[in-house]
Amino acid sequence: MKRRSLRVSRLGFLVALSTMLLGIACKGPTGPEGPAGVDGVDGLDGAANLSVAALTLQATDFTDSNFLESAVYSAPNLTADIVSNGIVLAYSDLGSSGAYWIALPVTVPIQSNIVVFSFGYGEGFLELDISREAGSPVASVFEGDTIKVVTIAGVAKRDLNVDLSDYEAVMRYLDRFK
């Protein structure tokens, strides 16, 4: 029985001594700066040719022809290089005043219709299309909505590790390269 209590008191003594020595070892002058570390791996090339343009929709911009309403806008940032080698994305706030962004094309129910809001583009222009199943024109429903068009030159879609249908995710991804 005595041996057991002796072992416990020796253990307690060693713990107390270790704690005291560690406390003393923490004090003293700061040593010299250590050697420089190894250089890290180079990062990805950035998306320097990024452009975001916004436009506000007016119902009068659209012409109606057989259940298809179209509006064509001048888009000087849609160059031949972007059209051939870049990425063009379009998002609508669908009347949320920028609270959220939905990738085009998007399908929405309006006035007992299924409506598809989509976009197309070519060198120097952006086309917005609203197609409906039947009934009268619905462009007035989109009056005042904001469309954001994102163009990225020289980046293949397969090189992007991001959900292109999510405007906020695309912007967070591209902000890394600014």
Q: Which residue has the tokens 């998306």?
A: 47
Classify the phi-psi angles of 69: left when phi > 0, otherwise alpha if psi is within -120 to 50, otherwise beta. Answer: beta
As a whole number of angstroms, the distance between CA 129 and CA 126 comes to 10
Q: Which residue has the higher pLDDT, 31 or 121?
A: 121
pLDDT band at 123 (very low <50, low <70, confident <90, very high): very high
pLDDT of residue 4: 45
pLDDT of 16 above 90: no
Where is average pLDDT lowest: 58-62, 81-85, 87-91, 156-160? 156-160
pLDDT of 3 above 70: no
DSSP sequence for 16-73: HHHHHHHHHHT-S------PPPPP----PPP--SEEEEEEE--GGG-EEETTEEEEEE
> Residues 50, 56, 61, 63: is their CA dihedral positive or negative?
positive
**Segments making up each domain of the chain, as ranges:** 50-175
pLDDT of residue 38: 73
pLDDT of residue 111: 82
Half-sphere exposure of 65 (CA within 13 A, CB side): 5
